[in-house]
Amino acid sequence: MKRSYLFAAVGLLLLFLSACGAVPGAAGGQESATAGMEKMNRGEPAPDFEMTDLDGNTVKLSDFSGEKVYLKYWASWCPVCLGGLEDINTLSSEDNDFRVLTIVAPGQRGEKSMENFKAWFAGVEHTEHITVLFDTDGAYGTQAGVRGYPTSAYIGSDGILVSQVPGHADNDTIRATFEAIS
């Protein structure tokens, strides 16, 4: 009996917390990347981010306003992630109707420091077309609800986070998913 009360209490707490996270405009005080755009997909706006890439350039999700975006969260210690790098490199080199961005969180969840990651990544084959962004404090991954690596996020051209799926996604699956997204 006590166990069922515990499960019910945890369920209500999770429901409450997920409802709190879905408050429109609650993206840390940032202006929504979808402000003024027509909503074409089901879901909530993807939270905007500002991260640096391997070359130190600042990249924001809002830079891709009006474009579909595929985000892949991954880690250098994850064998499944490493096994998919060649696929992501191929996908990134193709002329698709969506952008491909990958995100790592240096110093978080067992990931290398940014300097060590950059040195390591420079020696990895079949990565010349991959855009790597650094979620330096892991805040975006936490805000986006990333619980494991790899995780794929599909964002429509209207800035709506249509789907976020844990586990490896092959290129055919990624392309097919974007065919159904506006």
Q: Provide the greatest CA pair distance for the chain.
A: 58
Report the distance separating Cα 72 and Cα 52, nearest Å: 15
Asked if pLDDT for residue 2 goes beyond 60, the answer is: no
* Cα dist from 126 to 48, 52, 113, 175, whole Å: 29, 21, 22, 20
Q: If we measure between CA atoms, which residue out of 13, 143, 133 comes closest to residue 74? A: 133
Q: State whether the Cα torsion 29-34-39-44 is positive or negative.
A: negative
Q: If we measure between CA atoms, which residue out of 172, 64, 82 comes closest to residue 126? A: 82
Report the distance separating Cα 30 and Cα 13, nearest Å: 26
Report the distance separating Cα 150 and Cα 154, nearest Å: 13
Convert the pLDDT of each residue in 142-164 to its tens digit.
998 999 999 999 999 999 999 99
Convert the pLDDT of each residue in 79-119 to its tens digit.
999 999 999 999 999 999 999 999 999 999 999 999 999 99
What does the mean pLDDT of the chain come to? 83
Report the distance separating Cα 69 and Cα 41, nearest Å: 13
Convert the pLDDT of each residue in 59-72 to its tens digit.
999 999 999 999 99
Angle at 168 between CA 163 and CA 113, to 5 degrees: 100
How many helices and strands in the chain, by DSSP H and E?
6, 8
Q: If we measure between CA atoms, which residue out of 132, 146, 140 comes closest to residue 52? A: 132
Taking residues 18-25, what's their average pLDDT?
Answer: 30
Q: Higher confidence at residue 11 or residue 90?
A: 90
**Amino acid making up residue 86:** E
Listed range (4-8, 137-141, 152-156) with the worst mean pLDDT: 4-8
Q: How confident is the model at residue 39 (pLDDT cuts 50, 70, 90)?
A: low
* 98 contacts 182 by C-beta, under 8 angstroms: no
Tokens of 141: 């991954």
Q: How confident is the model at residue 37 (pLDDT cuts 50, 70, 90)?
A: low
Q: How confident is the model at residue 126 (pLDDT cuts 50, 70, 90)?
A: very high
Q: State whether the Cα torsion 106-111-114-118 is positive or negative.
A: negative
Asked if pLDDT for residue 6 goes beyond 50, the answer is: no
